[in-house]
């Protein structure tokens, strides 16, 4: 129960919440059905707002789509941040990294979000910067474990695995993952020693 005063009763005359609800709905639709499924009507229904609200808050459908995608990327970045802080105290060996990534490859929801991001941007070059934010975030995270060049290779490797795991519907084995990651990291020039 919040402070006091108007406890619930939001939604009407709460532009911010309304906008959020619309974007949330767009993001969900993006994950479920891809960018082509974003229509004013669908978003409005999903968000529980009248049709006019979607056009009132967003000048064009493109803008709405991008806002939804933005939310997805924000979520992904939060996830990356979460992983990073959760692994703060862990040893920096390849095995530990493999365990972390393996966990990620078991999180279907998370991967579905990534896939939605790829799908939405593949044919929309103007939105690719959003996907790059995810790529770069991953590279940055991996840079805690290896040198930048290897981090980039590992980031690409990660996305490839995501694609294959999701398409095949089969998980990736932890030991194989460990083997590959270990090999890739060992092959690199090594992480620069900070300080």
Partner DNA sequence: TATGAATGAGTCTTCATTCAT
Partner DNA sequence: GATGAATGAAGACTCATTCAT
Binding residues for its own copies (CB under 8 A): 32-37, 115-116, 118-119, 121-123, 128, 131-132, 135, 149, 152-153, 155-164, 167-168, 176, 179-180, 182-184, 186-188
Q: Which residue in 15, 33, 129, 190 binds DNA (CB under 7 A)? A: 15
Residue range at the interface with DNA (CB under 7 A); choices 25-33, 57-65, 165-173, 174-182: 57-65
Cα→Cα distances 178→78, 93, 98, 175, Å: 25, 10, 5, 5
Three-state DSSP state, 144:
coil
49 binds DNA (CB under 7 A): yes
Cα→Cα distances 192→95, 145, 147, Å: 19, 10, 6
- Dist. CA 76–CA 83, nearest whole Å: 11
Q: Which residue in 18, 71, 102, 131 binds DNA (CB under 7 A)? A: 18
Other CB atoms within a 10 A radius of the CB of residue 13 amount to 8
52 binds DNA (CB under 7 A): yes
Q: How far is the CB of 174 from DNA (least distance, A)?
A: 42
- Dist. CA 39–CA 192, nearest whole Å: 48
Which listed option, DNA, its own copies, none, makes contact with residue 86 (CB within 5 to 8 Å by class)? Answer: none
Q: What residues make contact with DNA under the rule CB under 7 A? A: 12-15, 18, 38-42, 49-57, 59-62
């Amino acid at each position: 129960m919040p402070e006091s005063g108007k406890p619930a009763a939001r939604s009407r005359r709460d532009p911010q919440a309304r906008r959020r609800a619309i974007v949330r709905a767009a993001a969900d639709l993006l994950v479920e059905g891809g960018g082509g499924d974003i229509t004013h009507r669908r978003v409005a229904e999903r968000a529980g707002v009248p049709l006019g609200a979607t056009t009132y808050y967003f000048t064009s459908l493109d803008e709405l789509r991008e806002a939804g995608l933005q939310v997805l990327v924000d979520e992904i970045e939060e996830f990356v941040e979460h992983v990073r802080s959760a692994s703060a105290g862990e040893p920096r060996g390849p095995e530990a990294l493999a365990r972390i990534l393996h966990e990620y490859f078991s999180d279907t929801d998370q991967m579905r979000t990534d896939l939605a991001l790829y799908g939405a941007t593949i044919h929309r070059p103007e939105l690719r910067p959003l996907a790059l934010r995810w790529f770069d975030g991953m590279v940055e995270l991996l840079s805690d474990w290896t040198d930048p060049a290897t981090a980039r290779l590992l980031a690409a490797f990660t996305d490839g695995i995501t694609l294959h795991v999701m398409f095949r519907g089969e998980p990736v084995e932890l030991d194989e993952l460990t083997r590959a990651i270990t090999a890739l990291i060992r092959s690199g020039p090594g992480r620069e020693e900070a300080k």
